Structure 1
């Protein structure tokens, strides 16, 4: 069974209302401005989670193999997931200022 399904489509952020474009390099599942996401997947891209809650960015960590990752916690069910940040995306880079604020304030 495949654990990752490629879905790279635009959306409107459920937290801040910003229009989010697809990523130039990979699949995007969070708003590049506020870094919030929505709990849609059990495994990346499968759209099988029944929750649908907002996923708040609660931490930013560095992974030596994947780079910087945002840790999201679902405000409905408490599930936590990590997602790679892309500060160099050609279309809409993730906000370094937002990531630094999360790192500072946790």
Structure 2
């Protein structure tokens, strides 16, 4: 699947936010408002998972070379995947939601 095919907007199934695709060369894989994702991949970008369950953010980690990442867990099957935090000042993830998540688990 091409990068442009992966970089599509979507409506968040958790909060209903209309999520625009990123324009900075990356691609959006979780809602910037509620930080939820969807279990659509087996290997990042393949869209081959049949599960399609919502993935809730469980923690925030800092990883060298990647910066902040959200660790998501699928509520249907327990699959775990990490996703980089979008830090763009215009299209980035809701920093207040990230701080709230960090305070809830830390």
In proportion to residue count, which structure has more helix? 2
Aligned length in residues: 102
Relative to the length of structure 1, the TM-score reads: 0.90
Partner deviation per Cα, 1:43-99 (whole Å, 9 max, x = no partner): 111010110000001101111210000000000000000000012253x21011111
Which shifted more, 80-89 or 32-41? 80-89
Point out which structure has higher relative CO (alpha carbons under 8 A, 6+ apart): 1
- The answer to whether the 8 Å contact 1:61/1:69 transfers is yes
1:104 shift after superposition: 1.1
Q: Residue 58 of structure 1 corresponds to which residue in structure 2?
A: 58
- Aligned equivalent of 1:72: 72
1:11 aligned residue: 10
1:57 counterpart SS class: strand
**Aligned partners of 1:80 and 1:30: how far apart in 2?**
14
CA distance, structure 1, for counterparts of residue 28 and residue 89 of structure 2: 10
Q: Quick one: distance in 1 between partners of 2:2 and 2:15? A: 26
SS of the equivalent of 1:58 reads strand
Q: What RMSD in Å do the two structures reach over aligned CA positions?
A: 1.3
Q: What TM-score, normalized to structure 2?
A: 0.90
Aligned to 1:98: 97
In structure 2, the gaps of 5 or more residues are none
Q: Matched residues in 1 for 2:70 and 2:103: separation?
A: 13
Secondary structure of the equivalent of 1:102?
Answer: helix
